[in-house]
């Protein structure tokens, strides 16, 4: 074995969230939630109002849905048939960046270029029809301050986006202007929602007892339906921007990565748990084990997934992945340690995410019995990353004990598009 076992053990220790820490995170999250309901300035959670409640199931009709939340932008034409039924009539998708060809997410790009590109995609979805009236729901998956369902101002880019001239702007105004420049005046953007809100709307359209919506993918965030029992507000979904939760114990890899990121100090939870970042943390820890501290290897969460899944006796897959990214040939015993490292990072991620869900569940229960409920989750990490789901279930049991029996998680695949269409329909209620 080439790795130093003591060094390895101490790295694993740094990525471990034990039972008592897990409880602390859940309790701290609930604390921030309570504080945030009184005054968001007192909390690390943004508690952004969505101005939308839960759907009744009666929402019907044909709508456009724009899903803008990562490098891949999608526009869908969707017909809602009520009570969870719907049909996607047309779907177009394009990346906002193609390496070496164009880039509408980097700092060299402008708001006009970005939204013109999106407007062209809308044009494709309506097949050049500039007469039929369409309402458009827009899932915009970045922290935005809303004053109503239409008016959402981007507070700050996340997920390493850096396009100039969007922060501080009303995104639907940028979209409307771009649509107008393309001669598309028959499409009216009427609602902007976060992707977590879209997931919750989509799930609640299909089944009752769903109050929490979450994205566990490239980025991470959660929203929930706040009943505002004290009548301070009308009941509505709050986008927590939980990726910005701060009451955590970042290890030195987290701290070092944060310092080099686009927005140091922001999105501390997201940088510890989401798909965009786990590969980076894995690479940093591996660099230390290889005696190449500071090297950047460009591991992705897909590499981590493939690493964990390799069951070949000689760990051929792990060897190939490590060789491709670092140029180093590992012995089988070291490959097994690399698998443990990847697993530890994924397990930490799932445990931290679950602690935030439980913080919300506790807050909603308000000291009374925990209601039967589903947590709706969308995203590649939840869906595809080995060990994620089982560790969410395990952490739910650890935190909730017997009450875990009334809580389950459901995959709300593609909720961003469906949710946007539902929001467009709800904008007319």
Instruction: Using the minimum distance from each CB to ligand BGC, give the nearer residue, 196 or 301.
Output: 196
Instruction: Using the minimum distance from each CB to ligand BGC, give the nearer residue, 283 or 415.
Output: 415
Provide, rounded to whole angstroms, the least separation between the CB of residue 158 and ligand BGC: 3
Enclosing H/E stretch for 60: strand 60-68
3-state secondary structure of 335: helix
Provide, rounded to whole angstroms, the least separation between the CB of residue 194 and ligand BGC: 5
Instruction: Using the minimum distance from each CB to ligand BGC, give the nearer residue, 3 or 150.
Output: 150
Smallest CA-to-CA distance from 246 within 99, 28, 423, 59 is with 28
Instruction: Using the minimum distance from each CB to ligand BGC, give the nearer residue, 19 or 265.
Output: 265
Provide, rounded to whole angstroms, the least separation between the CB of residue 398 and ligand BGC: 25
Provide, rounded to whole angstroms, the least separation between the CB of residue 221 and ligand BGC: 3
| Cα–Cα distance for residue pair 201/209, rounded to 1 Å | 12
Instruction: Using the minimum distance from each CB to ligand BGC, give the nearer residue, 43 or 307.
Output: 43
Provide, rounded to whole angstroms, the least separation between the CB of residue 239 and ligand BGC: 7
Provide, rounded to whole angstroms, the least separation between the CB of residue 313 and ligand BGC: 39
Q: Are 350 and 216 spatial neighbours (Cβ–Cβ below 8 Å)?
A: no
Beta strand 210-216 with 373-378: parallel, antiparallel or unpaired? Answer: parallel
Provide, rounded to whole angstroms, the least separation between the CB of residue 260 and ligand BGC: 17
| Cα–Cα distance for residue pair 25/12, rounded to 1 Å | 19
DSSP state of 301: H
Provide, rounded to whole angstroms, the least separation between the CB of residue 381 and ligand BGC: 11
3-state secondary structure of 292: coil
| Cβ-Cβ contacts under 8 Å for 80 (sequence gap 6 or more) | 59, 60, 61, 62, 63, 86, 421, 422, 425
Instruction: Using the minimum distance from each CB to ligand BGC, give the nearer residue, 158 or 307.
Output: 158
Instruction: Using the minimum distance from each CB to ligand BGC, give the nearer residue, 160 or 173.
Output: 160
Paired tokens of 231: 């009548």
Q: How far is CA 100 from CA 72, 97, 103, 104, 311, in A?
A: 16, 9, 8, 12, 36
Instruction: Using the minimum distance from each CB to ligand BGC, give the nearer residue, 321 or 375.
Output: 375
Instruction: Using the minimum distance from each CB to ligand BGC, give the nearer residue, 189 or 338.
Output: 189
Instruction: Using the minimum distance from each CB to ligand BGC, give the nearer residue, 27 or 156.
Output: 156
Sign of the dihedral defined by the CA atoms of residues 146, 147, 152, 157, in that order: negative
Instruction: Using the minimum distance from each CB to ligand BGC, give the nearer residue, 171 or 215.
Output: 215
Angle ∠(413,218,327) on CA atoms, nearest 5 = 125
| Cα–Cα distance for residue pair 34/28, rounded to 1 Å | 10
Q: How far is CA 263 from CA 4, 158, 160, 257, in A?
A: 33, 8, 8, 11
Sequence length of the chain is: 429
Angle ∠(87,93,97) on CA atoms, nearest 5 = 160
Q: How far is CA 284 from CA 251, 289, 341, in A?
A: 12, 9, 11
Binding-site ranges for ligand BGC (CB under 6 A): 69, 141-143, 158-159, 194-196, 215, 219-221, 241, 243, 270
| Cα–Cα distance for residue pair 224/241, rounded to 1 Å | 11
Give residue number: closest CB to ligand BGC. Answer: 219
Q: Residue 22 CB: number of other CB atoms within 10 A?
A: 18
Provide, rounded to whole angstroms, the least separation between the CB of residue 109 and ligand BGC: 18
């Amino acid at each position: 074995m080439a790795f130093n076992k003591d060094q390895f053990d101490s790295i694993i220790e740094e990525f471990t969230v034990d039972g008592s820490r897990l409880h602390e995170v859940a309790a701290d999250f609930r604390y921030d939630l309570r504080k945030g309901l009184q005054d968001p300035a007192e909390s690390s959670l943004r508690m952004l109002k969505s101005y939308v409640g839960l759907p009744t199931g009666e929402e019907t009709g044909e709508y456009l849905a724009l899903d803008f939340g990562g490098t891949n932008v999608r526009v869908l034409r969707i017909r809602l048939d009520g009570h969870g039924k719907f049909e996607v009539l047309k779907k177009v998708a394009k990346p906002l960046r193609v390496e070496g060809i164009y880039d509408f997410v980097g700092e060299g790009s402008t708001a006009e270029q970005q939204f013109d590109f999106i407007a062209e995609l809308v044009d494709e979805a309506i097949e050049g029809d500039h007469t039929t009236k369409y309402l458009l729901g827009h899932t915009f998956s970045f922290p935005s301050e809303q004053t109503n369902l239409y008016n959402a101002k981007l507070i700050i880019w996340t997920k390493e986006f850096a396009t100039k001239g969007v922060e501080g702007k009303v995104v639907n105004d940028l979209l409307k202007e771009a649509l107008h420049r393309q001669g598309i005046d028959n499409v009216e953007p009427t609602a902007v929602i976060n992707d977590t809100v879209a997931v919750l709307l989509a799930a609640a359209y299909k089944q009752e007892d769903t109050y929490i919506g979450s994205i566990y993918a490239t980025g991470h965030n959660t929203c929930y339906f706040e009943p505002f029992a004290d009548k301070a507000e009308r009941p509505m979904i709050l986008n927590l921007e939980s990726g910005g939760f701060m009451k955590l114990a970042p290890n030195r890899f987290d701290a070092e990565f944060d310092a080099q990121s686009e927005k140091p100090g922001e999105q501390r939870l997201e940088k510890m748990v989401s798909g965009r970042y786990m590969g980076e943390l894995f690479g940093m820890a591996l660099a230390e084990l290889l005696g190449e501290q500071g090297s950047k290897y460009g591991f992705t969460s897909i590499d981590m997934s493939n690493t964990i899944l390799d069951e070949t006796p000689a760990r051929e897959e792990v060897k190939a992945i490590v060789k491709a990214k670092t140029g180093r040939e590992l012995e089988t015993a070291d490959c097994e340690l690399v698998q443990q490292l990847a697993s530890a990072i994924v397990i930490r991620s799932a445990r931290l995410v679950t602690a935030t869900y439980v913080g919300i569940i506790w807050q909603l229960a308000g000291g009374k019995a925990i209601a039967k409920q589903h947590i709706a989750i969308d995203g590649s990490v939840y869906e595809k990353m080995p060990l994620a789901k089982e560790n969410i279930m395990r952490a739910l049991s650890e935190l909730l004990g017997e009450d875990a029996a009334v809580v389950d998680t459901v995959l709300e695949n593609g909720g961003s598009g469906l949710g946007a269409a539902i929001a467009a329909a709800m904008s007319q209620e």
